[in-house]
Amino acid sequence: LSDQAAYLLYLLFAAGGVALLLALPRGQAAPTRRLAGLLLGVAAIIGAMVLFGAVDIMAPSAFFYFFGAIALFTAARVVTHPKPVYSAVYFVALVVAVAALVLLQGAEFLAIALIIIYAGAILVTYAFVIMLAQQARVLVYDVRAREPLAAVLVGFVAMAAVAGRIADVNECPVPLDTDSRLVLAANSDTGAAPDNDGQANLAAESSTELGNTVQVGLTLFGPYVVAIQLAGILLLVGLIGAVALVRKRMPEDEVTETVTIGQIGKEVPPF
């Protein structure tokens, strides 16, 4: 990425930051401000597409830009929408877009796992908590953002700094396939000795032969089998912790008689 392109990238990030600042909820209804924010944000996304399409030597893939634009737009809506339920719904759309991006990278198993775990399980948990705790009317703490200018500055300056540095990644000499353990393992199974110059080709071949799910499974239950066990323990600890946190201690003699459904939320508090 040349210097000019890097500055253009910073400019686009600044435009995106201003767009997000305009779109953040600020109390009073201001449709023109939000519309301006929306237009500026869309302009920033399109500008990024044009920049990368123009700068990059490799031919751009339309799917990347399509799903990338969806991901950025839905992420901005998650952050700016005043109603948490809509934020959660936009987050589901974001997860689907990210899964598509992951799929474009050839990670099928992870894409499906993202949809099942994130969009399926985690977001349903969020929906439950929103139903438990969110009031129906629009609340002041939802429509009035806290320190929007400072937060947008922090977020977007960090983002632009990281992205500007990372843009040099193509110039960095990347050791491709220096320790592709899985490829070695796959080759030792078949008895073929990998030579150094053909390793990239071998990796590509074995990835098409084995399939992504098999490869991920071999990696997870090969070198990382202890980590898998630890992840299971972590989930168990999280489960016990969540139960212990939210449990209400109730002495046996104070247990009241059952309440009818109509009373809950009126005479009886929901918790």
Partner 1 sequence: MPGPYHYVILGAALFGLGVVGFLTRRNLIVMFLSTELMFQGVVVNLVAFAQMHRHVEGQAFALFLLVVAAVEAGLGLGLVVLLYRRRGTLDAEAWAIMRG
Tell me which residues in 153-172 interact with partner 1 (CB under 8 A).
Answer: 154-156, 158-159, 162-163, 166-167, 169-170
Tell me which residues in 234-263 interact with partner 1 (CB under 8 A).
Answer: 234-235, 237-239, 241-242, 245-246
Q: Does 7 bind partner 1 (CB under 8 A)?
A: no
Place of tokens 């339920």: 85
C-beta of 38 vs 148, nearer to partner 1: 148
**Quick one: which of 3, 28, 136, 174 contacts partner 1 (CB under 8 A)?**
174
Q: Does 87 bind partner 1 (CB under 8 A)?
A: yes
Helix axes 31-55, 3-23, angle to 10 degrees: 160
Joined together, the tokens standing for residue 100 give: 């598509």
In whole angstroms, what is the distance from residue 123 CA to residue 83 CA?
15
C-beta of 40 vs 101, nearer to partner 1: 101
Chain-centroid distance, C-alpha 166: 19
E strand map for the chain: none
Q: Which stretch binds partner 1 (CB under 8 A): 31-39, 82-90, 186-194, 259-267?
A: 82-90
**Quick one: which of 19, 102, 115, 186 contacts partner 1 (CB under 8 A)?**
102
Query: Which is nearest to 64 in space by CA: 35, 40, 95, 97?
Result: 97
Tell me which residues in 28-47 interact with partner 1 (CB under 8 A).
Answer: none
Q: Does 138 bind partner 1 (CB under 8 A)?
A: no
In whole angstroms, what is the distance from residue 243 CA to residue 246 CA?
6
HSE, side-chain direction, 13 A CA sphere, residue 5: 15
DSSP label of 196: S
Q: How many residues bind partner 1 (CB under 8 A)?
A: 99
Query: Which is nearest to 18 in space by CA: 102, 76, 71?
Result: 76
- Least distance (Å) from partner 1 to the CB of residue 144? 7
- Least distance (Å) from partner 1 to the CB of residue 221? 10
Q: Does 106 bind partner 1 (CB under 8 A)?
A: yes
β-sheet bridge partners, residue 26: 144
Q: Does 10 bind partner 1 (CB under 8 A)?
A: no
**Quick one: which of 43, 79, 93, 185 contacts partner 1 (CB under 8 A)?**
79
